[in-house]
């Protein structure tokens, strides 16, 4: 079972949190802080497994994480999950994000947290691995996006017009936030 | 400017979306909290609007804020509103929000039940999918109970996308609503063979999760998983299955044997590291479970270790880590194999990665030996010095102590070295493990007598230099060590070189800054030292030393008398008064040393940690009775200071009070135990701890000794453990040299005889002798301690509720509740099933068609029937409770016989068949081709199997069941089955055929060779062949002619045997023992007795019966003529044992052998049957039964079951049946029914037999 999936950036700012067991919001934030603290002090060339998240889990649980450019993807899993398997799963997830967002970068995750959730829902459900075939995941996500589009999306036409007005000539709203190259580099896949 | 105003007003109407919110937050880095709080206000406004789009937008933003740590549970109701929107876009937002912030105590969750149910049955698969995903995150016991049935239906949805989600969510449902597991399990099991790999993977996932917690319930699935393992190519699935096998093997070693080969193949062939690693892991688990008896055992270990070494040497840190992790598993059982890789593991200690270093440390624990302990610890000490970060250093410290102290200091050869290591460890800064070091010091000093002199010297030094430890006293735990030091110096003060000096050190004013419990020990042990000093000065006429000492005590102790710590205060004031009194006596020149030291006489022995618990409760002592009368209510109120609050509801408070009492008691008990464990003074009843208290007469002879102050005080420096390593090396070298010398001498003597003999080589473990004569005192246990195992499972574990036997057939009461107004929809599930299978026929339509076709030709009808039967077979798992009785009975009767003694009077169930299948599968040799064929649990495969076997079905194999049968009367059913299975697997195949025969499609084209499971609308009544044999107030005997053993030789003289199963049930509440079973043989029928016993000897029943228990024994009879029924008289004698007395009782019975019992169910095919009828030498006879009021298939089933016939052919209300006697007589029946009349025409080559059989059949039906 996967107990939690956390994505946060190099400064510990959460980009997506998904707990499969109930924790209060306060506790969730503590867990994120603790996990960030544990993970961030590790070099990039050490192993991706970590024991001893004291807040989440216990002896049966491991933190399995990967660090892509500015983001940490952390899965907290128990002993029924294969370590290398979970690592592969993170890879599948990130590659799927890459496909769905076309060159995913941190900004995509920042502004489209809901979409990232929807993609994750096709990979992991209730703490158990649902699908590992990337094409299948992407296909399901796309069908659902199309459905959403056909319904007019969340911000239907009038709202969109309004937001166009809202953004016009308003200097305090930066249109394009340029934070340099924060594209997530997807390393070549190890055979899994 | 105008635009801004427009924007502002529009803003209020059309609000920020998620992106705007995120952007806004990013633009308000300085006052984020303030900005967000205004946003939340906006959101609250939005949620008040009627527009669902606005609400959805607001909820979406809330989800984001939730991630940032804001509690959004106040919007729960709005979330539910958005969830119930009809638009997918909004619904998805709603469910996402719900999954992020709903939990069991969210009260609006109960409002969602109907909405979720509606979504689950939505025609749009994505609505269903979204609902399932959401539900998986917030399912509650109530939701699980209410929706279990709907989700179960979805497990057979047409879309694999829904199926896999439904399968996965079932696990969550099981957790919340364990009652659903048994009814849902058959379908879940079915999904293991789903055509869609995703669904299959999900099912594997769920079952693995379930099996991990309660593996024993899932053993029967092993064959199925094995098949999946050998056929699947999906690495995810493989990993899960292999992990599951890892959990199953400890329960069933035979499974392990079967697994080794395919796993080894996978290890060699796979390129996926993850799979390889899991294979290695499971192989390790297998090898652990197989303690012995594997021929290529070591080869497999070697393979694993070798693969792991490759992993550890890999540059990928992940593999290195996992390699070490797996190594530690091998280490437990095969330390030798790991020890050869010591170099590699020591190397890993230097790794920059802390995870890896910790793993390597774990491994070290098992790698030490007497030889390398010092070396390894030295290396660890270096790491301790180098280590930055206290956690890793603390870890090192505990590991060092673990390694050294493991298995009772087994590997320590030099305790001086160990003490110095401990002392060195005290110099660690900021460690939390002071108490650990302290307890080690205490333990070693107490238990290793030889080391006390040395230990005391070291401890004295420690005390002297206490300021070094406490100097940087930043509330660290290291001062705990002083506790041990003080105690050791005090208790073993006779070994002190200079007690005066130590006493002085212990009474320094700075001691008052130490924690209270340590001060207390200081004070107490100062008194001990004082006694020692007095004693050593005994006989010395000059009293200055003693008087100086007393003076010192009197001067220093008042500091402690003023201590805030009660214990310190109490001890100090006691001792102070004592010393004052002693001083007075000294001034009168009274000899007091003897008396003072008597205060502390006696030896303290270590006590095993569990000793207290194991003290048996003395007879006649009831710990639960009140010693005094329980306090009355009014009293308790008086006692309670908070009576004001409890007055209002006195009863309630009372209950709570006692509860608190219990908790409090438990807590106190715990605390006391803790205290006792830490307290070296605590003495438990041990024989050697009697205090020798001698009354010395008079106080006149106190020795007054003069201390020689000119002797320089020798202060030994802090020890360096390294020097011991060197010393030890030298010592060993010396020993070795000596040994060599001896060897040489010996060799010289022997040389002539032996020729070349290699050098003694590396010294073995045993060669190293400890430096000291070490006497490790074992921990004491109370006399006649009770053995008890202490592992307690966590009662709160949710998985405990899922420990459910899945093989038992389902009872009606266990079905998942279906809401009544939805009954019609629930009944739809089989239809959906059919849809899934591609047969798109509607139920009513089909019935109609059936009626029409009734007038059509027979062929058509048969085809139709066959078709419906196909479907039935597919649904077989589900309808198990329906045909289970009959089906199970038939499988069971010939194969395993009713084995569950307690259940034996009930019809056997399919459970046993499944279990026996597993056994059978396991007992088979691990030949892959066999595996493919044998583990056919599903009857769907039966048809082909029947064809395969039918060739050999007519001629059954000879076998020697006699021993098995005789032994079969033992209580352990597993043992029996093992024996039987190994001997009779061939026979079993044959017997299996019976089973298949009844369900097979029939190879015949025109008719259905099936009489039993034709129409399932009405479940068959349960049937049992057990009939009452005899009964009295003590015991009840039930008899069944259980098994006909068919002898192929067909020797009419002595070849025919009948086995009788007798159930003995103890009806009284006394113990029944020494049961003996005897039958008066007739000319025709004889009880088989073991060789050497006479014809009238009775057979002992091989078990005893506690009250209420039943068990089964089987007896073999030899029968000569079988054409007539027989009656045999018999007696059972037994002893009824009550508490006071035992009486001898006897019970007479009559064994009735019907002719039916000589028949053996034998399958026959229609063409063979026709040939048989044509042959002229059969005599015919017929019988008519009137008023038989039961469906035809029930009638056939009854004949099959009670009279051991099998159906050859059945056409409408007419069937042909066949059976064969144990002596080879053919019996053929043609059964016809019209209305309530049944006519049976029969043919047999033995008219007498036939007549009797028909009479018996008639009787059977007249009874019902």
CB-side neighbour CA atoms (13 Å) of B766 = 0
Quote the pTM value: 0.56
Test B168 with A51 for CB contact under 8 angstroms. Answer: no
If you search the block for the tokens 């045993």, which residue do you land on?
B766
Q: In the prediction, which pLDDT does B446 show? A: 85
Q: Return d(Cα B109, Cα B118) in angstroms, integer.
A: 15
Secondary structure of B1087-1125 in the HEC alphabet? Answer: ECCCCCCCCCCCEECCCCECCCCEEEEEEEEEECCCCCC
Q: In the prediction, which pLDDT does B634 show? A: 52
State how beta strands B1027-1031 and B1099-1100 pair. unpaired
Computed over every residue of chain B, the mean pLDDT equals 71
Interface predicted TM-score of the whole assembly (ipTM), two decimals: 0.85
Q: In the prediction, which pLDDT does B810 show? A: 66
Test B11 with A166 for CB contact under 8 angstroms. Answer: yes
Q: In the prediction, which pLDDT does B640 show? A: 45
What is the per-residue pLDDT across B818-866, written as a single tens digit (0 to 9) for each? 554 443 343 344 434 444 444 433 444 444 444 444 444 445 445 555 5
pLDDT band at A116 (very low <50, low <70, confident <90, very high): very high
Interface check A46 vs B, CB under 8 A: yes
Residue B1261 vs residue B93, higher pLDDT = B93
**B179-193, B256-270, B1113-1127, range with the lowest pLDDT:** B1113-1127
Question: Sign of dihedral through CA atoms B138, B142, B144, B149?
Answer: negative
Query: What is the distance of C-alpha B233 from the center of its chain?
Result: 30
Number of Cβ atoms within 10 Å of the Cβ of B1261: 20
Find the mean pLDDT for residues A51-55. 69
Q: In the prediction, which pLDDT does B365 show? A: 78
Q: In the prediction, which pLDDT does B816 show? A: 63
What is the per-residue pLDDT across B731-755, written as a single tens digit (0 to 9) for each? 767 766 766 666 565 555 554 444 4
Residue B1039 vs residue B1137, higher pLDDT = B1137
pLDDT at B155 over 80: yes
What is the per-residue pLDDT across B17-45, written as a single tens digit (0 to 9) for each? 888 888 888 888 888 889 999 999 989 98
Helix B544-561 and helix B499-506, axial crossing angle in degrees, nearest 10: 20
What is the per-residue pLDDT across B1010-1042, written as a single tens digit (0 to 9) for each? 333 333 334 445 555 566 777 777 676 666 554
pLDDT band at A136 (very low <50, low <70, confident <90, very high): very high
Contact at 8 Å (CB) between B249 and B282? yes
Taking CB atoms and an 8 Å cutoff, what residues of chain B touch A107? none
Q: In the prediction, which pLDDT does A89 show? A: 92
Find the mean pLDDT for residues B953-980. 42
Residue B81 vs residue B473, higher pLDDT = B81
DSSP sequence for B561-613: HT-SSHHHHHHHHHHHHHHHHHHHHHHTT---HHHHHHTT-S----B-TTHHH
pLDDT band at A119 (very low <50, low <70, confident <90, very high): very high
Closest CA of chain A from B678, distance in Å: 27
pLDDT band at A76 (very low <50, low <70, confident <90, very high): very high
Test A128 with B6 for CB contact under 8 angstroms. Answer: no
Mean pLDDT comparison of B446-450, B688-692, B1016-1020, highest-scoring range: B446-450
Contact at 8 Å (CB) between B102 and B139? no
Sorted by where each starts, the structural domains of chain A and their CATH numbers stand as: 2-151 (3.30.450.60)
Q: Return d(Cα B255, Cα B286) in angstroms, integer.
A: 8
Q: In the prediction, which pLDDT does B3 show? A: 54
The size of the A-B interface in CB pairs under 8 A is 188
Provide the percentage of residues in chain B whose pLDDT is more than 90.
8
Contact at 8 Å (CB) between B998 and B1007? no
Find the mean pLDDT for residues B513-522. 86
| Closest residue in chain A to residue B243, using alpha carbons only | A80
Element (DSSP H or E) covering residue B1239: strand B1237-1244
pLDDT at B679 over 90: no
**A55-64, B732-741, B1146-1155, range with the lowest pLDDT:** B732-741
CB-side neighbour CA atoms (13 Å) of B763 = 18
Interface check A20 vs B, CB under 8 A: yes
**A83-97, B346-360, B508-522, B661-675, range with the lowest pLDDT:** B661-675
Mean pLDDT comparison of B103-107, B645-649, B802-806, B977-981, highest-scoring range: B103-107
Nearest to A49 among B3, B20, B318 (CB): B318
Residue B909 vs residue B620, higher pLDDT = B620
Taking CB atoms and an 8 Å cutoff, what residues of chain A touch B164? 130-131
Q: In the prediction, which pLDDT does B408 show? A: 79
What is the per-residue pLDDT across B251-297, written as a single tens digit (0 to 9) for each? 887 888 888 888 888 888 888 888 888 888 888 888 777 765 555 56
Question: Sign of dihedral through CA atoms A143, A144, A148, A150?
Answer: positive
Q: Is B1020 helix (H, G, I), strand (E, B) or coil?
A: coil
State how beta strands B1237-1244 and B1206-1211 pair. unpaired
Mean pLDDT comparison of B265-279, B635-649, B739-753, B926-940, highest-scoring range: B265-279
Q: Which of residues 58-77 of A touch B (CB under 8 A)?
A: none
Taking CB atoms and an 8 Å cutoff, what residues of chain A touch B237? none
Q: In the prediction, which pLDDT does B1058 show? A: 75
Find the mean pLDDT for residues B1211-1230. 83
pLDDT at B1255 over 60: yes
Interface check A14 vs B, CB under 8 A: yes
Q: In the prediction, which pLDDT does B1012 show? A: 36
Q: Return d(Cα B59, Cα B53) in angstroms, integer.
A: 10
pLDDT at B492 over 70: yes
Q: In the prediction, which pLDDT does B941 show? A: 42
Nearest to A154 among B89, B274, B277 (CB): B89
Test B358 with A140 for CB contact under 8 angstroms. Answer: no
Interface check A178 vs B, CB under 8 A: no
Interface check A28 vs B, CB under 8 A: yes
Q: In the prediction, which pLDDT does A138 show? A: 93
B332's CB contacts (< 8 A; 6+ apart) are: B288, B366
Nearest to A84 among B161, B274, B317 (CB): B274
Q: In the prediction, which pLDDT does B99 show? A: 92
pLDDT at B578 over 70: yes
Residue A135 vs residue B634, higher pLDDT = A135
Find the mean pLDDT for residues B992-1009. 40
Find the mean pLDDT for residues B446-463. 86
Residue B254 vs residue B688, higher pLDDT = B254
What is the per-residue pLDDT across B859-886, written as a single tens digit (0 to 9) for each? 544 555 555 554 444 444 444 444 434 3
Find the mean pLDDT for residues B1114-1119. 78
Mean pLDDT comparison of A126-140, B524-538, B1156-1170, highest-scoring range: A126-140
Taking CB atoms and an 8 Å cutoff, what residues of chain A touch B273? 84, 190-192
Q: Is B969 helix (H, G, I), strand (E, B) or coil?
A: coil
Provide the percentage of residues in chain B whose pLDDT is more than 70.
65
Find the mean pLDDT for residues B445-469. 83
pLDDT at B131 over 90: yes
């Amino acid at each position: 079972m996967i107990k939690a999936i956390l994505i946060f950036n190099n400064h510990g700012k959460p980009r997506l949190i998904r707990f499969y067991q109930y924790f209060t919001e306060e506790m969730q934030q503590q867990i994120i802080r603790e996990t960030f603290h544990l993970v961030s002090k590790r070099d990039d060339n050490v192993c991706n497994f970590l024991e001893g998240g004291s807040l989440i889990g216990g002896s049966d649980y491991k933190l399995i994480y990967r660090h892509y450019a500015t983001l940490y993807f952390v899965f907290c899993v128990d002993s029924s999950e294969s370590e290398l398997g979970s690592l592969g799963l993170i890879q599948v997830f990130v590659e799927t994000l890459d496909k769905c967002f076309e060159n995913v970068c941190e900004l995509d995750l920042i502004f489209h947290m809901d979409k990232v959730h929807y993609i994750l829902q096709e990979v992991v459900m209730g703490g158990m691995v649902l699908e590992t075939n990337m094409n299948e995941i992407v296909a399901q996500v796309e069908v659902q996006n199309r459905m959403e589009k056909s319904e007019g999306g969340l911000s239907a036409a009038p709202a969109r017009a309004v937001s166009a007005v809202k953004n016009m000539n308003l200097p305090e709203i930066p249109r394009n936030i340029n934070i340099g190259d924060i594209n997530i580099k997807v390393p070549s896949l190890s055979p899994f | 400017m105008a635009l801004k105003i427009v924007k502002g007003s529009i803003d209020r109407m059309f609000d920020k979306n998620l992106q705007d919110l995120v952007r806004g937050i990013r633009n308000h880095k300085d006052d984020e909290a303030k900005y967000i709080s205004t946003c939340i206000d906006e959101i609250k406004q939005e949620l008040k609007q009627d527009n669902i789009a606005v609400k959805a937008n607001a909820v979406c933003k809330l989800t984001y804020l939730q991630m940032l740590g804001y509690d959004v549970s106040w919007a729960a109701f709005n979330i539910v509103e958005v969830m119930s929107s009809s638009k997918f876009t909004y619904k998805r937002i709603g469910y996402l929000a719900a999954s992020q912030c709903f939990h069991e105590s969210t009260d609006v969750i109960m409002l969602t039940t109907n909405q979720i149910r509606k979504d689950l049955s939505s025609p749009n698969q994505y609505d269903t999918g979204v609902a399932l995903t959401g539900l998986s995150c917030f399912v509650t016991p109530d939701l699980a109970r209410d929706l279990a049935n709907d989700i179960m239906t979805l497990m057979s949805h047409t879309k694999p996308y829904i199926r896999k989600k439904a399968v996965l969510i079932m696990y969550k449902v099981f957790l919340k609503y364990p009652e659903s597991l048994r009814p849902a399990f058959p379908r879940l099991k079915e999904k293991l063979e789903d055509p869609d790999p995703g669904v299959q993977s999900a099912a594997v996932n769920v079952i693995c999760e379930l099996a991990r917690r309660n593996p024993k319930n899932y053993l029967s699935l092993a064959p199925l998983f094995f098949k999946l393992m050998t056929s699947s190519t999906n690495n995810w699935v493989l990993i899960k299955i292999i992990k599951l096998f890892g959990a199953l093997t400890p329960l069933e070693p035979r499974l392990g044997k079967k697994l080794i080969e395919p796993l080894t193949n996978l290890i060699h062939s796979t390129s996926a590291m993850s799979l390889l690693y899991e294979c290695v892991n499971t192989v390790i688990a297998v090898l652990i479970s197989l303690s012995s008896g594997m021929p290529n055992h070591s080869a497999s270990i070697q393979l694993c270790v070798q693969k792991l070494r490759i992993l550890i040497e890999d540059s990928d840190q992940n593999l290195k880590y996992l390699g070490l992790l797996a190594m530690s598993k091998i280490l437990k059982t095969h330390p030798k194999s790991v020890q050869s890789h010591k170099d590699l593991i020591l190397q890993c200690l230097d790794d920059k990665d802390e995870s890896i270093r910790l793993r390597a440390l774990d491994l070290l624990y098992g790698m030490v030996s007497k030889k390398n302990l010092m070396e390894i610890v030295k290396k660890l000490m270096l790491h301790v010095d180098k280590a930055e970060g206290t956690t890793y250093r603390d870890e090192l410290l505990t590991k060092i102590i673990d390694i050294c102290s493991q298995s009772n200091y087994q590997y320590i050869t030099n305790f001086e070295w160990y003490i110095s290591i401990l002392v060195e460890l005290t110099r660690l800064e900021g460690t939390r493990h002071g108490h650990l070091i302290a307890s080690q010091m205490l333990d070693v000093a107490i238990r290793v007598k030889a080391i006390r002199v040395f230990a005391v010297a070291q401890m004295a030094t420690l005390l002297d230099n206490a300021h070094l430890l406490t100097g940087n006293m930043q509330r660290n735990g290291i001062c705990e060590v002083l506790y041990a030091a003080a105690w050791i110096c005090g208790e073993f003060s006779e070994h002190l070189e200079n007690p005066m000096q130590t006493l002085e050190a212990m009474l320094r004013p700075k001691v008052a800054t130490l924690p209270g419990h340590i001060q207390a020990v200081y004070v107490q042990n100062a008194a001990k030292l004082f006694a020692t000093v007095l004693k050593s000065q005994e006989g010395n006429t000059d009293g200055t030393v003693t008087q100086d000492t007393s003076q010192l005590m009197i001067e220093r102790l008042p500091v402690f008398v003023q201590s805030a710590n009660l214990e310190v205060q109490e001890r100090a004031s006691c001792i102070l008064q004592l010393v004052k009194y002693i001083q007075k006596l000294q001034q009168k020149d009274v000899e007091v040393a003897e008396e003072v030291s008597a205060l502390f006489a006696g030896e303290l022995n270590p006590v095993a940690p569990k000793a207290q618990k194991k003290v048996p409760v003395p007879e006649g002592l009831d710990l639960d009775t009140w010693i005094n009368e329980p306090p009355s209510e009014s009293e308790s109120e008086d006692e309670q200071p908070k009576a004001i609050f409890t007055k209002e509801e006195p009863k309630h408070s009372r209950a709570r009070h006692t509860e608190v009492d219990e908790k409090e008691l438990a807590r106190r008990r715990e605390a006391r135990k803790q205290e006792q464990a830490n307290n070296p003074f605590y003495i438990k009843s041990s024989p050697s701890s009697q205090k020798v208290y001698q009354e010395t007469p008079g106080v006149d002879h106190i020795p007054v000794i003069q201390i020689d102050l000119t002797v320089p005080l020798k202060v030994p420096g802090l020890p360096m453990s390294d020097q011991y390593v060197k010393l030890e090396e030298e010592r060993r070298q010396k020993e070795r040299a000596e040994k060599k010398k001896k060897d040489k001498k010996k060799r010289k003597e022997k040389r002539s005889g032996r020729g070349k003999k290699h050098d003694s080589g590396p010294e073995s473990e045993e060669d190293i002798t400890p430096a000291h004569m070490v006497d490790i005192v074992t921990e004491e246990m109370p006399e006649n301690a009770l053995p008890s195992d202490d592992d307690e499972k966590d009662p709160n574990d949710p998985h405990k509720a899922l420990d459910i036997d899945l093989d038992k057939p389902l009872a009606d009461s266990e079905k998942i509740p279906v809401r009544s107004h939805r009954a019609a929809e629930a009944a739809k599930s089989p239809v959906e099933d059919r849809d899934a299978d591609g047969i798109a026929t509607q139920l009513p339509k089909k019935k109609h068609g059936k009626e029409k076709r009734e007038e059509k030709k027979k062929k058509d009808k048969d085809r139709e029937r066959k078709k419906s039967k196909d479907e039935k077979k597919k649904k077989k798992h589900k309808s198990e409770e329906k045909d289970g009785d009959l089906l199970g009975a038939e499988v069971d009767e010939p194969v395993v016989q009713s084995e569950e003694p307690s259940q034996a009077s009930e019809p056997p169930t399919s459970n046993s068949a499944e279990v026996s299948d597993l056994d059978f599968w396991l007992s088979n040799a691990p030949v892959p081709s066999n595996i493919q064929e044998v583990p056919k649990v599903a009857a769907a495969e039966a048809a082909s199997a029947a064809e395969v076997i039918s060739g050999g079905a007519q001629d059954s194999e000879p076998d020697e069941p006699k021993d098995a049968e005789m032994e079969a009367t033992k209580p352990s059913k597993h043992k029996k089955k093992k024996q039987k299975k190994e001997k009779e697997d061939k026979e079993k195949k044959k017997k299996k055929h019976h089973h298949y025969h009844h369900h097979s499609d029939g190879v015949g084209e025109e008719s259905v060779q099936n009489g039993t499971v034709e129409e399932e609308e009405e479940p068959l009544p349960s049937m049992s062949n057990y009939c009452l044999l005899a009964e009295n107030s003590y015991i009840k005997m039930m008899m069944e002619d259980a098994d006909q053993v068919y002898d192929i030789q067909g020797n009419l003289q002595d070849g025919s045997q009948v086995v009788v199963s007798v159930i003995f049930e103890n009806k009284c509440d006394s113990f029944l023992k020494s049961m003996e079973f005897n039958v008066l043989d007739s000319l025709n029928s004889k009880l088989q007795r073991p060789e050497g016993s006479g014809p009238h000897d009775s057979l002992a029943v091989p078990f005893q019966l506690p009250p209420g228990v039943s068990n089964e024994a089987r007896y073999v009879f030899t029968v000569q003529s079988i054409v007539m029924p027989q009656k045999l008289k018999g007696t059972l004698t037994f002893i009824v044992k009550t508490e006071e007395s035992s009486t001898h009782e006897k019970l007479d019975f009559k064994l009735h052998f019907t002719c039916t019992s000589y028949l053996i169910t034998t399958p026959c095919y229609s063409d063979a049957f026709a040939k048989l009828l044509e042959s002229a030498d059969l005599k015919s006879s017929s019988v008519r039964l009137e008023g038989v009021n039961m469906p035809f298939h029930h009638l056939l089933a009854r004949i099959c079951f009670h009279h051991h016939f099998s159906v050859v052919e059945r056409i409408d209300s007419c069937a042909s049946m066949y059976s064969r006697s144990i002596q080879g007589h053919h019996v053929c029946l043609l059964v016809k029914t019209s209305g309530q009349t049944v006519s049976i025409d029969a043919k047999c080559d033995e008219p007498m037999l036939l007549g009797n059989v028909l009479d018996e059949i008639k009787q059977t039906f007249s009874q019902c």
